Structure 1
Amino acid sequence: MEYDDDIWNILTKLKSDPGTQETPGISDNNSISNNTGSSSIGSLDISNLDINSNSCGCGCSEVISEDHMQICKNCSAIVSKMIENTAEWRFYGNDDNRDGDPSRCGLPTNNLLPKSSIGSMIGCGYKDNIDIRRIRMFQMWNSMPYDERTLWNVFDKMTGNTINNGIPQKVIDDAKVLYKKASEKKISRGDNKEGLIASCIYHACLINKIPKSSKDIAAMFNISHVTLNKGNSRFQTLLQINVSSPEPMDFIAQYGNNLNMSIKDIDKCKSLVSLIEDNDIMNDNSPTSSAAGILYYYANVKNLGYTKKTFAKACNVSEVTIIKCYKIINNHHAFIISHKSNIFELEQPVLLV
């Protein structure tokens, strides 16, 4: 917070100056004082004034907001000014008879693109001719440095490939921050760049506890699974961020919804996952494969009528992998059925005394 005119320093200097004469018609009894009347301007000490507070130099802490300024209620001094960070629109159609809206918008502040936030952007409409579109393109190129324009293209690609695939905006924003940090350490090109972009989305999903498999992320960016794995290795080399790995429990609800299973069946499958993990029945498979195998096992026991092909399509796991996981769980079928949790709601035998 900055003071425009420190009037209190001026008045204090005038009060303490011995050569200053009293203004006619004003007596000593009418000396200016604060609301409490306990101290005058001559005894006001502002040397220890905290400029980060909203209190005025007169001692009053009550301020009002007007025209993006904090104004003291007591003496009407400007305590501070507020900086507007939102986009600023200006209309330039008052001097002609055009029906359109030749508006110009100042770019909002973006900490990831600080230099580009200084410029402005020319809006375009559906009926604009090719000349206006070229002017808009050239103006955008000139207002954005090369390095930030490259970042902007990457951010635009991240948003376009993920926003329609169920990725929240919070995850996209975190991925942009991760990519900027990685790009500042080392420049990536070609497949390495594509893999790093997808890897930033993948790690942002892990940080925000959004269950997405590596195959899902690779499909969003139309890259191979191998390219994404290389991007993950490059990501860990550059940033060295430790994130928790996904678990089968994270994918049960997602795969269950893809299969249109009821909420009750999904909850039962979650209980089955906990039982299998607590007894170390299946530990050598990936989280997605384990989740698909557990769902397939539960569907077979309950006779829900799903086929292997349906599971493979809904879970994005091959039929061979699903059957492999199913057989591992089925080897412990007697233990699971007889467990006290009674997941499948079978009638317990009554012991006769």
Structure 2
Amino acid sequence: MKQLRTACSACKSEEVITDHESGEIICSNCGLVISDNIQDRDNWWMSLGTRGSDLEANGVLPISLARHDKGLSTTIGRPNKDASGHVLDSDMRSRMERLRRWDFRIKASNSHDGNLKDAFAQLDSLKDKLQLPETVVEKTAYIYRKAQTRGLVRGRTISAVLDAALYIACRELGIPKSLKEIAGANNVKHKTLAKSYRLLIVELDVKIPTVDPTKCIIKVSNKVNLEERTKRRAIVLMSQLISMEVTAGKDPMGMAAAVLYISCMNSGEKRTQSDIARAAGITEMTLRNRCRSIKDLEPDSVPISIVRKGHQTNHTIFRA
């Protein structure tokens, strides 16, 4: 994490923090998320002593794994003059045109590059749809290249393997993205994506960390526009459940939705079960089951109406 010179719109403070894992720029004074889609720059750009906009204007791009050629290939243009500035005659121009045409054909006939072109074109589209930071894109490209080297893409669709690599990258970097969300963004069946994900886990021997339910709370609460006090109560309740090992083996999104619903009822903020369940990507039955399991642990601290939908009978606040 590093500091950037950006002013906060709420408190006008210039002390902000950039979190490259979540892709967010946060005000260190009031905690406001200024931006949730940062664009990282490679360090070698700065060593050139030239601004990035000047480099892009001159056709120089940074090295990136998310490009099929890593940004290192060259293309033969259509020159009218030689290196000395003399105009080429018709015979020399025809030779250069023939070289340019064969250069294009050789590159197009490479199936390896063609596969990477299609995959990274889809990855660039997913980056905009899911608002992914540059670190996730680079990690996804790295995993996909490993899968292609092992021959795991052969016989499978590029979309399924790419989405599986993207989900692994999100899990490793702590970005709360679900399989259903990624599958819907790239029009891939959930079953096909889950199968490709299990294949990459086994073949690449990847160790997937567990999802932090606290980040799921932030994601769901932002979708339903909950107040800050409700978020804080949900985070306190979730930390207690994690310490009691209640969340072990449970879907993080389901637990986050249940904790948020309980916090809404405790704080008096009106949100229906269908609203929270839809934002979390779960069913209302799952939400009620998770709420019931929490109520069984602390029956005096959780409102009874979480079990009996529509019958609000108690509003006690969970003990901090």
Counterpart Cα distance in 2 of 1:245 and 1:267: 22
Q: Percent of aligned positions with the same letter in both sequences?
A: 20
Aligned counterpart, 1:344: 317
Instruction: Give the Cα separation in 1 of the matches to 2:263 and 2:132.
Output: 29
Give the letter aligned to residue 243 of structure 2.
Answer: D
Tell me by how many angstroms 1:287 deviates. Answer: 1.0
Q: 1:217 aligns with which of 182, 185, 189?
A: 182
Aligned equivalents of 1:288, 1:138: Cα separation in 2 = 53
Residue 271 of structure 1 is aligned with which of 217, 220, 236? Answer: 236
- 1:173 maps onto 2:133 in alignment: no
Once the two structures are TM-superposed, the CA of residue 162 in structure 1 deviates from its matched residue by 2.8
The alpha carbon displacement at 1:180 in A equals 0.4
Is contact 1:282-1:328 (8 Å) kept?
no
Contact kept, 8 Å, 2:176 with 2:216, in 1: the verdict is yes
Against the structure 1 CA distance between its residues 169 and 140, is the aligned structure 2 distance closer, same or farther, given a 3 Å change threshold?
Answer: farther
Counterparts of 1:151-170 in structure 2 under 5 Å? 151-170=116-135
Matches of 1:265 and 1:236, distance apart in 2: 37
Report how far residue 316 of structure 1 moved.
1.1
| 1:185-227, Cα deviation, whole Å (9 max, x unpaired) | 1142465543221111111112221111121111122112211
**Among candidates 219, 237, 256, match of residue 221 of structure 2:** 256
Residues 244-278 of structure 1: per-residue CA shift (max 9 Å, x gap): 12132220100011110122221211110011222
- Counterparts in 2 of 1:259 and 1:139: CA distance versus 1, 3 Å: farther
Give 1:230 deviation, angstroms: 0.6
The structure-2 alpha-carbon separation of the partners of 1:279 and 1:113, relative to structure 1 and needing over 3 Å to count, comes to closer
Matched residue type, 2:238: V
Secondary structure at the aligned position of 1:253 is classed as helix
Q: 2:72 — aligned with what?
A: 117
TM-score by length of 2: 0.63
Q: Name the structure 2 match of 1:324.
A: 289
Q: Distance in 2 between matches of 1:211 and 1:249?
A: 10
Deviations 1:288-331 (A, max 9, x none): 11111111122223331111111122111111111111111122
Code of the residue aligned with 2:205 in structure 1: it is Q
What is the TM-score with the length of structure 1 in the denominator?
A: 0.57
- In structure 2, what is the equivalent of residue 66 of structure 1? none
Question: Which residue identity does 1:156 align to in structure 2?
Answer: A
Summarize the Cα distance change of 1:115–1:262 in structure 2 as closer, same or farther, 3 Å threshold: closer
Map 1:58-69 onto structure 2 (within 5 A). Answer: none
1:133 aligned partner: none
Q: Unaligned 5+ residue runs, structure 1?
A: 1-85, 90-104, 124-135, 338-342, 349-353
Q: Which residue does the alignment assign to 1:82?
A: none
Change in Cα spacing, 1:254 to 1:119, as seen in structure 2 (3 Å) is: same
The CA RMSD over aligned residues, in Å, is 3.4
Q: Distance in 1 between matches of 2:101 and 2:71?
A: 14
Residue identity opposite 1:312 in structure 2: A
Structure 1 match to 2:251: 286
Could you tell me which amino acid in structure 2 is paired with residue 186 of structure 1?
A: G
Distance 1:222 1:308 in 2: 27
| Aligned pairs for 1:288-327 within 5 A | 288-327=253-292
- Secondary structure at 2:210 match in 1: coil
| Aligned-partner residue type, residue 281 of structure 2 | N
Q: Distance in 2 between matches of 1:137 and 1:228?
A: 39
Residues 183 and 193 in structure 2, CA contact (< 8 A), matched pair in contact too: yes
Deviation per residue, 1:71-128 (Å, 9 max, x gap): xxxxxxxxxxxxxxx6795xxxxxxxxxxxxxxx5776556645983322779xxxxx
Unaligned runs of 5+ in 2: 1-54, 79-99, 303-315
Look up the equivalent residue of 2:234 and give its one-letter code.
C
CA distance in 2, matches of 1:139, 1:220: 35
Match runs of 1:162-201 below 5 Å: 162-189=127-154, 191=156, 193-201=158-166
The more displaced of 281-290 and 314-323 is: 281-290
Q: Secondary structure at the match of 1:306?
A: coil
Q: What is the identity, as a one-letter code, of the residue corresponding to 2:235?
A: K
Q: Quick one: distance in 2 between partners of 1:322 and 1:295?
A: 10
Taking a change above 3 Å as real, the CA distance of residues 108 and 213 of structure 1, as seen in their structure-2 partners, is: closer
Q: In 1, distance between residues paired with 2:255 and 2:229?
A: 20
Choose 1 or 2 for highest CA Rg.
Answer: 1
Give the total of aligned pairs.
232
- Report if the CA contact (8 A) 1:258-1:314 is conserved: yes
> How big is each residue's C-alpha offset from its partner over 1:38-95, in whole Å with a ceiling of 9 and x where there is no partner?
xxxxxxxxxxxxxxxxxxxxxxxxxxxxxxxxxxxxxxxxxxxxxxxx6795xxxxxx
Q: Are residue 208 (structure 1) and residue 173 (structure 2) matched?
A: yes
Give the 5 Å matches for 1:39-50.
none
Contact 2:122 2:159 in 1 (8 A): no
Call closer, same or farther: CA 1:106–1:251 in 2, change over 3 Å: closer
- Measure, in 1, the Cα distance between the counterparts of 2:244 and 2:106: 63
